[in-house]
Amino acid sequence: MPPPRAHRPARSGHDGAVRILATAVFERVVYHCSCLDPAEPARPVLEVDAVLRPGDADGPLLVAIADLKRMVGFERVAACLPGFRRAGRTEVRDGVEYLTFPVWHRHPDEPTGSAAI
């Protein structure tokens, strides 16, 4: 029997990044998530293991900053917030601040018309 997800070594190629697993998403907002690896809060990576219906991923997925603080630690996230804000990685919706995770992005080395997931 394989070890639980939280105890498996990182295999996603994101060594050193905070790995967050989203298990419930509705209209882009991540409603339930857990931290798989709290290594480096300045480099968060979102993994999704959830049913996505039409409209759930029509744009960047959003993880509440409060959830990030709960999972990684208040001081560690507070130190990273100014950088996230400068980089345009936060969004305020209905008075709640979220960290944004693009569903896909264009890789600078890829030709026009290609996208990396």
Kindly state the tokens that stand for 91. 């969004």
Kindly state the tokens that stand for 10. 């990182």
Q: Which residue has the higher pLDDT, 68 or 17?
A: 68
Is residue 92's pLDDT more than 80?
A: yes
Tell me the pLDDT band of 2, cut-offs 50, 70 and 90.
Answer: very low
Kindly state the tokens that stand for 30. 């991540």
pTM: 0.76
The mean pLDDT of 107-113, rounded to a whole number, is 55
Is residue 5's pLDDT more than 70?
A: no
Mean pLDDT across the chain, nearest whole number?
83
The mean pLDDT of 44-52, rounded to a whole number, is 93
